[in-house]
A = this chain, B = another copy of it.
Amino acid sequence: MVISIDSPLDMHLHLRDGRMLDIVAPLSAETFAGGMVMPNLVPPVTSREDVRSYRKRILKAQGDERFVPYMTLFFRSDYTPEFLHSVKDEILAIKLYPAGITTNSEGGVKGFDIEELSPVLGVMSDLKIPLCVHGETGGFVMDREAEFIPIYEMLAKNFPDLTIVMEHITTKEAVAALDRYDNLYATITLHHLYITLDEVAGGLLQPHLFCKPIAKRPEDRDALSNVALNAHPKVMFGSDSAPHPREKKEAPGCAAGVFTAPIALPALAQLFERNGALDNLQAFVSDNARRIYGIEPIEKEVVLENSPYLVPEIYEGTVVPMFAGQTISWRVLSVG
């Protein structure tokens, strides 16, 4: 069987910088028409100059010209209206991190004081700049996302015209929140559709499946699968593909992140086929994002075939992907 995906989009992508950028950008560009690039570099992307220069470095690294890096800014509550006006056409969204909650998020928001956040959020709402949020509290690891839902609700209520994207959701609580507020949307990763905490720590410990938010319970994965496989109009694919050098993953103090970008489309096809949902893959990996963000990506037709694909053990001797050394049942046949 052969299917064709029209301009697939990855709406949550870590491309890093330097040598890692050179390794991973071409791997996303190979099969995606575009990707929303996260701004949590060191230091984070917080100025127009940062956005422009990071975009240039990505374009240089990606190889394939037909890939659009949709740029983002790292949320700061002290951005001025003038700055936001000046930058709005160069970014697709602003990403908010609670301070210290994940990789390179030390400069994020401390507490969620609506008074402090309101000026920037108000201008974003007026300018139609979407807000993307890493929604976790500092609580117990299995509860962090569910505990954050009231903050999403507070934001959604106070800024009804602001598009708010709950990034990489992992719980049934986040799925349930989607339908309670018109302006709440979500991205879902590949790995959270495949794994629960069992795959990370239920057998032997698997650092390459360790990520933030951590994979949750079976009923959470079921809730995520339900909206993804049924192409719920408010959910989009965002891989949260997060490369780290192998030596940072395979050591005590293992960094959080699963590297999925190069195998995401075949692995999604495998999952959607198993669940009789191949017809919904186009909406999940492209159409929903176009509508939610109001974007029209470049044309790129990716043809996938259900024939065995042996996933590489490692890329460039450095980054280990999900399903490393395993065979998945779909592969990319051609990109046109």
- A-side residues, CB < 8 A to B, are 140-142, 196-198, 200-202, 204-208, 210, 214, 217-218, 249-256, 320
Contacts and interface: CB of A to CB of B under 8 A. Distances in A.
B253 A206 contact: yes
B252 A141 contact: no
Contact of A252 (B198, B202, B207, B218): B207
A80 to B, nearest CB: 34
A217 B142 contact: yes
A217 B140 contact: yes
A251 B140 CA distance: 25
Interface of A, secondary structure class, is loop
Given A204-B253, A204-B255, A205-B256, 10 more contacts: A140-B196, A140-B197, A140-B217, A200-B201, A201-B201, A201-B214, A202-B214, A205-B210, A206-B253, A207-B252
A330 B251 CA distance: 29
A200 to B, nearest CB: 7
Contacts of A217: 140, 142
Contacts of A200: 201
A192 to B, nearest CB: 15
A207 B255 CA distance: 12
A117 B141 CA distance: 39
A57 to B, nearest CB: 27
13 contacts: A140-B197, A140-B202, A140-B218, A141-B198, A141-B201, A142-B142, A142-B217, A201-B201, A204-B253, A205-B207, A205-B254, A208-B252, A252-B320
A141 B207 contact: no
A208 B254 CA distance: 11
Contacts of A197: 140-142
A218 B141 CA distance: 10
A326 to B, nearest CB: 13
A251 to B, nearest CB: 6
A127 B334 CA distance: 71
